[in-house]
Amino acid sequence: MSVLALHDVSLASTTLAGDAPFVLTVPFSVDAALAFDVDISLDIDDAAGQRIAHAQLAAAGWDVSWLPRGRYEAHALAAGAGLPAGRYVAHVALWDRRAGVLTKAGVASVAFEVVSPPRGDGFTPAWQLRSGDGAPAIDALSWKRGAADWFYKHFDHAARTTATYLLGDSPLLRGRILDVGCGDGITDLGIALRYAPEELVGIDPFRGYERLPEIARDANVPADAVPACLRFLPASANEIPFEDDRFDVVISWGSLEHIVGGYAKALAEIRRVLKPGGLLMAHPGLFYSDVGNHLGEFAFARAEPYVHLKRPRDWLRERILASEPDRMDRSGDIAAPADYWRWFTELNPITVPAFEAELRALGFEPWRVALRTHDRVEYTPELQRYSFVDLAVGELYVSAYNRKR
């Protein structure tokens, strides 16, 4: 079965005069359970076959991370063609990404004529995208709701950041993947569907992944989309229940800072089960950053950056226990204040220099590193004992090869 199909592309009028608008309709369908990174390109050629204009759905701000099964319709709209009088051909191509590879799913061409001088400054259409039969509303999809949406943060942002930004769409993503501290498994679902690996196993002692079918259904992911290669186990990162050299890729997104008693054994276990030449992608929480306290669900913590470094521990405990979170926590649900205090006390104080040293000592060879830094840090007397790097680096992302012999 095809993933995408392009249907009858049409122009509202093939003869444009005066202020007559250019209205191109591009109907298409998603025939598989999901299609990823959907895009539409539009090229205008003149009568001599010279390309004189190019437009793209993605370039117009539509980052269509994924679409579920159903019919859709895109429109390219230009008030006046903005083209000199003459004959033209509009070439349309429909694209999606499969296993990290951009694929042309369909093409169509429509001829038209401009019979009056150009109106406007060049050909710069606006785009619209609408859902049709059998498809959910576009506004109901995670990528349209954006960063505040829990499903988006993992199925779209975390999965794409991990696989493309840090792992470079590596062919190893088609092999065996382990996610250490997988939580509810949304990121794993996003990676498994995009890359169709031989195996993707998520481990987490707290079994949050048991809610994944419900979470996916509520996010408009078809029930038949969950692949057979994806499975989960209730296991600890300190005792990974697999043999040596089993996995091509190991992922640890926001989990190492939560391992009670330290994460040194977990890193050693990751190295043990990762094949020589395999890839680790790690995104550990940095304790001394403004978000390192994992208390962003509380208004008082958001209002005072580095509150966990500025305030006495007793003050922080009392404030947490006396407050109510007003946003979802990292598990996707509102938790009790006492849980937040316990999670805070269990955090490992990870820093960039220490984490780099630990990776290198284990034989990991860094490949890609990304740091999210703050525009400015306001030092107060309470913060003077902390380094520039500790406070200014908000997030660390690293991929590294396992160079064990």
Tens-place pLDDT, residues 283-295: 999 999 998 999 9
Running DSSP on this structure, what letter comes out for residue 181?
S
- DSSP class of residue 332? S
Sequence-distant (6+) residues with CB within 8 A of 304 are 310, 311
- At 44-93, the pLDDT tens digits run 999 999 999 999 999 999 999 999 999 999 999 987 667 888 999 999 99
3-state class of 212 per DSSP? helix
pLDDT single digits (tens) 204-257: 999 999 999 999 999 999 989 999 999 999 999 999 999 999 999 999 999 999
What average pLDDT does range 28-35 have in this prediction? 96
Q: Looking at the predicted structure, is the pLDDT value of residue 330 above 60? A: no
Cα distances (angstroms) measured from residue 190 to each of 96, 174, 225, 254: 15, 14, 10, 16
Do the bridges between strand 101-114 and strand 51-56 make them parallel or antiparallel, or are there none, so unpaired? unpaired
C-beta pairs of 261-265 under 8 Å, 24+ apart in sequence? 262/348, 263/237, 263/348, 263/350, 264/358, 265/237, 265/238
- Helix and strand element counts for the chain (H, E): 12, 16
Question: Which residues are within 8 A (CB) of 155 and not within 5 positions of it... i.e. 6 or more apart?
Answer: 66, 142, 186, 187, 189, 190, 219, 221
Query: Facing residues of 253 across strands?
Result: 283
**Can you state the angle between helices 313-321 and 337-346, rounded to 10 degrees?**
150
pTM score, whole prediction? 0.93
CB atoms within 10 A of CB 391: 22
| Cα distance between residue 320 and residue 384, in whole Å | 25
pLDDT per position as a tens digit, 120-141: 667 889 999 999 988 999 999 9
Taking every pair of Cα atoms in the chain, the longest distance, rounded to a whole number of angstroms, is 77
Query: How far is residue 55's CA from residue 238's CA, in Å, rounded to a whole number?
Result: 51
Name all domains of the chain by residue range, CATH numbers in brackets. 4-140 (2.70.50.60), 142-292+347-402 (3.40.50.150)
User: What is the Cα–Cα distance from 251 to 170, expressed in whole angstroms?
Assistant: 13
Element (H, E) at 317: helix 313-321
Lowest-pLDDT choice from 23-27, 147-151, 205-209: 147-151
Q: Could you report how far apart the first and last alpha carbons of the chain are, in Å?
A: 43
Quote the DSSP letter at residue 263.
S
